[in-house]
Amino acid sequence: MNSTQYEGQRALVTGAGGGIGSAISRVCAERGASLILTGRNREKLESVRLSLPGPQGHHVVPADLTRDDELTLLGQTAAELSGTEPLGILVLNAGAALSASIEDTTVQQWDHLFALNVRAPFQLVKALLPALRANPGGGRIFVIGSVVSTEAYLDQGAYAASKHALHGFTRVLARELHREGAAVQVHSILPGGVNTEMVRSVRPDIDTEQLIDPTEIAGIVGALLDMAGNAAVDEVRVRRRTKDPGA
């Protein structure tokens, strides 16, 4: 690991107050990046900021990404901050899940999942692509999807539909940016069950000892950040060791 490879650059992490988001934030900070931490809970974000190397260099920007006004303000703040330190890393991690049959899912629940899981990443990419393109060293976009992005699980219709949509968006984004000359790379990470508050709330029956630790997902992000050669990794699928890969 080169601890200074992103020194003088910014990284924006959505859902930074949660398990995966906070772990990825640390990986970015360890590589010298100044963090823009966003999520709905200011207290959690401040706790993450204080735990990172160089806490005074990081910014907390609380935002509800389902609200257009707050999403717009976040994009403007990130763009302004990138004027002094170029935006090099965008981590689209924020998300929500739901455990309900399709018949029992309300339109309001469906719309909420699509607003957070699909619409917010789309809007942030549109707002911040100019800043990522302007980075002399090129930019990185990490989209934290799910194994549900390509699979079907009972009672997760709305969640699966939103993650399928996010995955399709990510794949097309990667191809469009590659057409421009690959200055901005896109990485899609599709993990199975991770030991987070969200997964525990949706699957209270699951054995948490068998779940993936958030630091393992962050480690993958770190490994991709450390790749500086000609190799490009578009997609990483991660399953639990106890999960049958053929199931």
Residue 220: its pLDDT value, please? 95
3 located within any domain: no
17 located within any domain: yes
132 located within any domain: yes
For residue 118, the domain's CATH number is: 3.40.50.720
Residue 245: its pLDDT value, please? 65
31 located within any domain: yes
Strand 87-92, strand 139-144: pairing: parallel
The CA-based dihedral angle spanning residues 48, 49, 53, 59, taken in that order and rounded to the nearest 10 degrees: 150
Taking only the tens place, the pLDDT of each residue in 43-79 is 999 999 999 988 789 999 999 999 999 999 999 999 8
Catalytic residue, candidates 6, 114, 142, 159? 159
Distance from C-alpha of 57 to C-alpha of 53, rounded to nearest angstrom = 9
The number of distinct structural domains making up the chain is 1
Of the candidate ranges 44-48, 122-126, 177-181, 243-247, the one whose mean pLDDT is the lowest:
243-247
Q: Where residue 243 falls among pLDDT bands split at 50, 70, 90?
A: low
Residue span of the structural domain in which 18 resides: 10-238
94 located within any domain: yes
Known catalytic residue: 153?
no
Average pLDDT over residues 14-43: 95
The token pair at 86 is 């170029």
